[in-house]
Structure 1
Amino acid sequence: MSQQTDVLKAEARERVGKGSARAIRRNGKIPAIIYGDKKEPLSITLPYKEVFHRIHSGGFMTTLATIDVNGEKIQVLPRDYQLDPVRDFLMHVDFLRIGKGSVVTVNVPVHFINEEESPGIKRGGVLNVVRHEVEFECPATAIPEYIEVELAGLEIGDSVHISAVKLPEGVKPTITDRDFTIATVAAPAGLKAEEEEGAEAAEAEEAGEEEAKGGDEE
């Protein structure tokens, strides 16, 4: 689990709305809101550069943070942020307040390991990633930074399902009705073409044999 050790300094804000938000951004800050844990939503402002840096450093959406609002320290988890569609400028951030025993739903990145130990990939097979992220339900204080998928021993045509992944205690996939696929090792294009040609040749040979049999019967 990833958790920031430093604290984001914030200020509570009373005024809300587009005009107030524009003024906040002009002053090098970003409007944000903290909600959840059965408490009233709290509108705040945060330093723009600090938040922008955290977002682009990776792992922002699965990392707990502490926000100091006028002396009150609040543990939060980022839930959403909005960017200007044209300028890629950070517009707003939503945080979920984390209380004791909080359980959250998060998308966790998938990391693939030991690719060099996959016989199928060594033969030219292609790793076909079905899910780059997997949605999990887990304790807010135990969010995994990523899950690892083992590729050692995989042959062409093999698949890796969620049941093959070792998950931390308390972490459960939100999809529970099937053993869904995370990745497969697909045949390379050249091998596929050879297999298709071979199948066509076999079909043609079989058709010829059937035709010959029909001629003999006559």
Structure 2
Amino acid sequence: MSEVRLAAETRTEFGKGGARRTRRSGKIPAVIYGHGADPRHVSLPAREFTQAIKRGGGNVLLTLSLDGEDQLTIPKAVQRHPIRGSYEHVDLIAVRIGEKVTIEVPLVIVGDLAPGAMLGQEYTSVQIEAEATHIPNEIEVSIQGLDAGAHITAGDLILPAGSTLVTDAETLLLNVSTAPTAEDIEADTAESIADLGIIEEPSDADVAEAAEGKSDGS
């Protein structure tokens, strides 16, 4: 698990106006929760936080230098601007070395299916319990050579040492079916058009061919 040190500052301005001013100053409004303490409102350096997420993923361990002390945290919820993609607000969980936490970890699919097979993905992540300083950034799921009819449940995952599955082991994550042929796709498209009552306009080639047929028959 990646660990990044950031210089955080205590926030004294709240509300939408305060959040906008924080962002204009190159920082991200954030709140630290956990350990039964009152929430702490802080700001994080936007550029450094963005780089930390890029390098370490959504579960990056952040050591915040705050008011002369170090505070270990993990991002819990991150809000991004819908157009620019910049980080708007971050909720953080306070953690301690040796403490176990329950967290969502993304799945990464590796390998290739057998020819003619198609993959269906029901879930993109699972919940695990792990020591706060040893949370995996991702869990690999191999689909190498899987054929139609195969499936992978949460219980099939190979977890990193020290991690425990929280998601129900019977939860279906991936399933493999037979890929449709070009004929299947064409038939489904025609059926959908018929169901919708859509009348297709003849193409220029169809019109020309019909005209030629009439000319030959005259």
TM tier relative to shorter chain: 0.7 to 0.9
Read off the aligned partner of 1:14 and give its amino acid letter: T
Q: Decide which of 48, 51, 55 is 2:49's aligned counterpart.
A: 51
Corresponding residue number in structure 2 for 1:143: 135
Equivalence for 2:167: 175
- Per-residue CA shift, 1:37-90, capped at 9, x if unaligned? 2223222122122223334x1653211111111321111101112233454442
Check whether the contact 1:60–1:78 (CA below 8 A) recurs between aligned residues: no
Flag the 1:152–1:86 CA change in 2: closer, same or farther, 3 A: closer
Matched residue of 1:61: which SS? Answer: coil
Measured at CA, do residues 192 and 152 of structure 1 come closer, stay the same or move farther in structure 2, by a change above 3 Å? farther
Change (3 A) 1:86 1:164: closer
Q: Show the counterpart of 2:77.
A: 80
Q: TM-score, normalised by structure 1?
A: 0.73
Query: Following the alignment from structure 1 to structure 2, what is the Cα–Cα distance between the partners of residues 142 and 76?
Result: 13
Which of 168, 189, 201 lines up with 2:180 in the alignment?
Answer: 189
CA RMSD of aligned residues (A): 2.4
Task: State how 1:82-161 maps to structure 2 within 5 Å.
Answer: 82-85=79-82, 87-115=84-112, 121-161=113-153
Structure 1, residues 155-193: CA drift from partner, whole Å, max 9, x if none? 2211122222221234233233x5122212210112995
Paired-residue identity, %:
32
Can you give the 5+ residue segments of structure 1 that lack an aligned partner in the other structure? Answer: 116-120, 194-218
Unaligned runs of 5+ in 2: 185-218
* Alignment check: 8 A CA contact 1:137 1:173 kept: yes
Equivalent in the alignment of 1:65: 62
CA distance in 2, matches of 1:97, 1:3: 16
Residues 2-23 of structure 1: CA deviation (Å, up to 9, x unaligned) = 222x410111223323332222
**Hey, which bits of structure 1, 4+ residues long, moved more than 4 A?**
none
Pair 1:162 & 2:154 matched = yes
Distance 1:169 1:124, change over 3 A: same
> How much has 1:129 moved relative to structure 2?
2.1
**Does the residue aligned with 1:167 lie in a helix, a strand or coil?**
coil
Structure 2 Cα separation of the partners of residues 150 and 87 of structure 1: 34
* Count of residue pairs the alignment pairs up: 184
- Relative distance call for 1:40 and 1:152 in structure 2 (3 A) is same
Q: Which structure 2 residues correspond to residues 195-210 of structure 1 after superposition, within 5 A?
A: none
Cα distance in 2, alignment partners of residues 87 and 111 from structure 1: 26
User: CA 1:90–1:154 in 2, change beyond 3 Å: closer, same or farther?
Assistant: closer
Residue of structure 2 equivalent to 1:33: 31
Structure 1 residues 82 and 153, CA, compared in 2 at 3 Å: closer, same or farther?
closer
Q: Distance in 1 between matches of 2:65 and 2:160?
A: 30
Q: 3-state DSSP class of the match of 2:39? A: strand
